[in-house]
Chain A
């Protein structure tokens, strides 16, 4: 079981390493969306610090959606996905491995970029630290829930836009807790409660999302 998971992970990471342009797009998108806000709302430092956590979190959710529509579709096109689902290994592990690979490809670079954007938004070091922790806990949720949406919309016309419509409402709790934690530090009420809830949501997503996504994948491939 563990070997299968590792094999899926290694395969997806190798594929991503061979096509760097694909996943760098999501990171550039993250930077650009976040950079548009100071231009749109004005460069006043206090206001930027006020809206910064929310803007960075919203940009992170949108960036995850950008890459999610291709989570299964490339393998679906060349037929390898059906073989993986038909293999005796559990589909849940396949989905879990692919979601984890997505997180490693999309989430980790995002964590590295976020502090730079945090400085641009005039966040304090403490707030940036909490932002990193909240993104560390929150971005796996986005990958896991996104796996459900990608499996449901596999091979549909206009799948990318539909995925956005289906998955954004499910992202809202992660967004609320994640941005709320950073806001809590700035407001002086502390981030612990939000981070605990974010962690709980991560555990819940980890328990439920791979099973639903696996069921959705089987439905979509029938």
Chain B
């Protein structure tokens, strides 16, 4: 069996249906484990005391927000190059999750910033680039929603995703020159070397939970998109009649 089997909507529909419970279950188990490590096992930070614990939600969501964008750009490029239907559906299914994670990262960042920096928001490199990422997600979803023609919408969205992906690193580096008062937005695990291990484990477990959740939710969404787009086919009719 080769992997291209799953670029056909009918096969992917069946595969994702089998995988969703596993990924969702994994997300729940890992999420609970990660939160337990984060809130009960990981020791108190000597500088930031208990407030640092939001890191276990903040960092994985921020990673995921950026990573999903790159995955969308990847699927968009594949779709434009090889004209594969599934790639565009994947890109569409991923966007709301990416936007959600980016929003949660900004939100938890604000909650973390208030006790640490004394401000909900500062115009520093990390925050600005993440905000722009959220704008890009919103722009892409707005473009999709205003184009009724499926094929045109897919391609237009993919092109916008690609040009945005080129822009993200530029924004990221540019703002370092723009605002030299760069606050310590990034986490340095070397602050407390003896505690680094548990903190890192907690963060990685939460990152995997975010991965599993994203995959599960994207699969659920992509199944909906498949049914909508393949509604004229026989196999969709049989599925809908049996359910």
Docked-complex contact B152 and A173, CB < 8 angstroms: no
State the CA gap A131–B166 with chains docked (Å). Answer: 26
**CB-CB < 8 A to B14: which residues of A?**
none
Docked-complex contact B147 and A177, CB < 8 angstroms: no
B139 adjacent to chain A (CB < 8 Å): yes
Q: Which of B93-143 contact A (CB under 8 A)?
A: 132, 135-136, 138-139, 142-143
**CB-CB < 8 A to B147: which residues of A?**
156
**CB-CB under 8 A for A176 and B174, given A157-B146, A169-B132, A208-B166:** yes
Q: Which of A165-222 contact B (CB under 8 A)?
A: 165-166, 168-170, 172-173, 176-177, 180, 193-194, 197, 201, 204, 208-209, 212, 215-216, 219-220, 222
Min CB distance B74 to A, Å, is 16
- Identify which of B38-46, B155-163, B203-211, B233-241 touches chain A: B155-163
A94 adjacent to chain B (CB < 8 Å): no
**CB-CB under 8 A for A219 and B135, given A152-B160, A162-B143, A170-B167:** no
State the CA gap A65–B101 with chains docked (Å). Answer: 30
B171 adjacent to chain A (CB < 8 Å): yes
Closest to A201 in B: B170
**CB-CB under 8 A for A148 and B139, given A173-B174, A176-B178, A197-B174:** no
**CB-CB under 8 A for A156 and B135, given A169-B164, A216-B159:** no
The number of chain B residues with a CB under 8 A from chain A is 27
Closest to A149 in B: B160
Min CB distance B124 to A, Å, is 13
**CB-CB under 8 A for A152 and B159, given A166-B142, A201-B170, A219-B152:** yes
Docked-complex contact B174 and A216, CB < 8 angstroms: no
**CB-CB under 8 A for A172 and B166, given A162-B142, A162-B143, A197-B177:** no
Closest to A189 in B: B180
**CB-CB < 8 A to A215: which residues of B?**
80, 155, 159
State the CA gap A180–B138 with chains docked (Å). Answer: 27
Q: Which of A166, A180, A197 contacts B139 (CB 8 A)?
A: A166
Q: Which of B151-201 contact A (CB under 8 A)?
A: 151-152, 155-156, 159-160, 162-164, 166-167, 170-171, 174-175, 177-178
Residues of A near any B CB (own CB < 8 A)? 145, 148, 152-153, 156-158, 162, 165-166, 168-170, 172-173, 176-177, 180, 193-194, 197, 201, 204, 208-209, 212, 215-216, 219-220, 222
Residues of B near any A CB (own CB < 8 A)? 80, 132, 135-136, 138-139, 142-143, 146-147, 151-152, 155-156, 159-160, 162-164, 166-167, 170-171, 174-175, 177-178
Q: List 11 A-B contacts (CB under 8 A).
A: A148-B163, A156-B147, A169-B136, A170-B167, A173-B167, A177-B174, A180-B177, A180-B178, A193-B177, A212-B159, A215-B155
